[in-house]
Structure 1
Amino acid sequence: MAAFISSQKTEHGIDHVTSCRALGVSQSWYYKWKNRIGQDMPTARERRRADLDTEIARLFEASGGTYGSPRITRDLHEAGWRVSENTVAARMAELGLVARRRRKPRSLTRQGKRSAAPDLVHRKFAAPAPDVLWCGDVTQIDTDEGKLYLATVEDLFSRRLLGYAMSEHHDAALTCASLQMAVATRGGDVDGVIFHSDRGSEYSAARYQELCRRLGVVQSMGRVGCALDNAAAEAFNSTLKVEYVHRQRFRTRAEARLKIATWIADFYNTTRRHSANDGLPEVVTSGV
Structure 2
Amino acid sequence: MGRQSPYPEEFRKDAVALYRAAGGKRTYAAVAAELGITGETLRTWVRKDTTQHTSEHREDGAGHSPDEELARLRAENARLLKAEKGVAGGARDPAPGGCVFRSGGEVKTRRWDFTSDHYSDFGVQRLCRVLGVSRSGFYRHRAIAPVRAERQAAEERTVVEIRAIHAEHHGTYGAPRVHAELRSCGRKINRKRVARLMRVNHIVGRHLRRKKRTTIADKTAPPAPDLLMRDFTADALNIKWCGDITYIAVGSTWLYLATVIDICSRRVIGWSIADHMRTSLVTDAIEMAVATRGGPVNGVVFHTDRGAQYVSRAFADACRRHGIRRSMGRIGSSYDNALAESFFQGLKRELLHGRRWTSKTQTRLELFRWLAYCNRRRRHSALGYLTPIEFERLLITPTTLSLAV
Q: TM-score when scaled to structure 2?
A: 0.44
- State the alpha-carbon separation in 1 of the partners of residues 324 and 316 from structure 2: 9
SS in 1 for 2:321: helix
1:247 Cα deviation after fit: 4.1
Q: Does 1:262 align with 2:369?
A: yes
1:250 Cα deviation after fit: 2.1
Aligned partner letter, 2:386? L
Q: Does 1:123 align with 2:235?
A: no
Task: Note the alpha carbon deviations across 1:27-68, whole angstroms, 9 max, x for none.
Answer: xxxxxxxxxxxxxxxxxxxxxxxxxxxxxxxxxxxxxxxxxx
- State the alpha-carbon separation in 1 of the partners of residues 250 and 212 from structure 2: 16
- State the alpha-carbon separation in 2 of the partners of residues 274 and 240 from structure 1: 13
Who is 1:166 aligned against? Answer: 273
Counterpart pick for 1:185 among 257, 268, 292: 292
Who is 2:260 aligned against? Answer: 153
Q: Does 1:140 align with 2:235?
A: no
Counterpart pick for 2:386 among 260, 280, 283: 280
**Percent of aligned positions that are identical:** 42
User: Moved runs in structure 1, 4+ residues, more than 6 A?
Assistant: none
1:278 Cα deviation after fit: 2.4
Are residues 181 and 276 of structure 1, via their aligned partners in 2, closer, same or farther at CA, if it must alter by over 3 Å?
same
SS in 2 for 1:149: strand
Aligned partner letter, 1:222? G
Aligned partner letter, 1:173? S
Task: Note the alpha carbon deviations across 1:83-106, whole angstroms, 9 max, x for none.
Answer: xxxxxxxxxxxxxxxxxxxxxx97
1:107 Cα deviation after fit: 5.1
1:248 Cα deviation after fit: 3.1
- State the alpha-carbon separation in 2 of the partners of residues 120 and 270 from structure 1: 29
Aligned partner letter, 1:268? C
- State the alpha-carbon separation in 2 of the partners of residues 202 and 213 from structure 1: 15
1:145 Cα deviation after fit: 5.4
Who is 2:217 aligned against? Answer: 111
Name the structure, 1 or 2, with higher relative contact order (CA <8 Å, separation 6+): 1
Unaligned 5+ runs, structure 2: 1-210, 397-405
SS in 2 for 1:243: helix
8 Å CA contact retained: 1:273, 1:280? yes
Who is 1:243 aligned against? Answer: 350
Q: Which has the higher strand share?
A: 1
- State the alpha-carbon separation in 1 of the partners of residues 228 and 252 from structure 2: 38
- State the alpha-carbon separation in 1 of the partners of residues 274 and 391 from structure 2: 31
1:125 Cα deviation after fit: 0.4
Structure with the greater alpha carbon radius of gyration = 2
Give runs of aligned pairs for residues 3-152 of structure 1, distance below 5 A: 108-112=214-218, 113-144=220-251, 146-152=253-259
1:246 Cα deviation after fit: 1.7
Task: Report the aligned-residue RMSD.
Answer: 1.5
